[in-house]
Amino acid sequence: MPYIGKSPSFGVRQRYQYTATASQTTFSGTDTANLTLNYTDNNFVDVYQNGVLLKGGGTDYTATSGSSVVLTTGASVSDVIEIIVYDAFSVGNFYSRTDSDSRYVNVDGDTMTGDLTIGDASASDRKILFDGNAQDFHIGLDDSTDSLTIGLGSALGTTSHMVIDANGHITKPLQPAFYAVNTNSNNNIATNNTEITIEFDTERFDVNSDFNTSTFLFTAPVTGKYQLNVSLNISQLDTAATQYTIRINTSNRNYLLAIDPEFGSDTLFPFSISTLADMDANDTAKVTLAQNGGTAQTDVRDDPGSHFSGYLVA
């Protein structure tokens, strides 16, 4: 059964045994079992001489120092002096049920009362740190910008994943988002229904650096749903062609728009596709254009006529 006192390895009382020398009165220090006599209250000390309980309070012995017992009459040689020390304990500060209910979860209503304040209104940063095995995360107040940040690591503001300013604006500094344009026209595209990759070689922005201006590919950093948008400004659209097809090609599937250019004359025409694409981590997306039939005269006009953009939605 549970008890309050020393740890179970010591029990609730301690026994000390000494073998007396001739006329010995004081017993202290280590006993025959190499235990050192110690007590805190003489009211919890019993002394036996050869198995006979002695009377305390100065009658048969005195125990006042906390580390020794002194017999009134000296013992005989080889007498066995046994000292039993009982553990004395005190109860520290405690809460009544009413106190506890006001501070902790109320088991009846499962509610919390009172406020928790972190900080003291001084001009300094404050944070809660989540100390993980592989990664640490923090939620904290960046006092210099008056913003609440959620980020990676133990240092506030080093790698912020989400920032909420004092006006409630939420930004995600590492959320994938890009906008790319082509600075060189793709001129006189082939007419044999061959897909050509549109060379979006310049970024207006690329949060998280997921678009490559050399391969013209967007690479999804994580599995999710991505909003992808493309607009191509096509000049010299050949009415003799049987079909033009614009595609957003992703690793999972393609999204396309096709037209038969039965116009009265060769013309300038905009192509546009917007789609919510499901992409796995490391999937890629690019924009292609194909012309079937007609004359190799069609051009994809450069910036600002054509652009490719996208961002992670969920």
The span from the CA of 256 to the CA of 246, in Å, is: 6
State the average pLDDT over residues 161-174: 93
State the average pLDDT over residues 153-165: 89
Domain locations along the chain: 13-86, 126-171, 177-312
Q: What's the pLDDT band for 10 if we cut at 50, 70, 90?
A: very low
Q: At residue 6, does pLDDT exceed 80?
A: no
Query: Domain 177-312: which CATH class?
Result: mainly beta
The span from the CA of 172 to the CA of 157, in Å, is: 13
* pTM beyond cutoff 0.85: no
The span from the CA of 154 to the CA of 116, in Å, is: 22
pLDDT digits (tens, 9 = 90+) for 273-290: 999 999 999 999 999 999
CA distances from 128 to 1, 105, 118, 132 (A): 40, 21, 9, 13
pLDDT at residue 8, as a whole number: 47
The span from the CA of 179 to the CA of 71, in Å, is: 95
Q: At residue 155, does pLDDT exceed 80?
A: yes
Identify the H or E element spanning 150: strand 147-152
* Diameter of the chain measured on Cα atoms: 133
Q: Assign residue 194 a region (left: φ > 0; alpha: ψ between -120 and 50; beta: otherwise).
A: beta
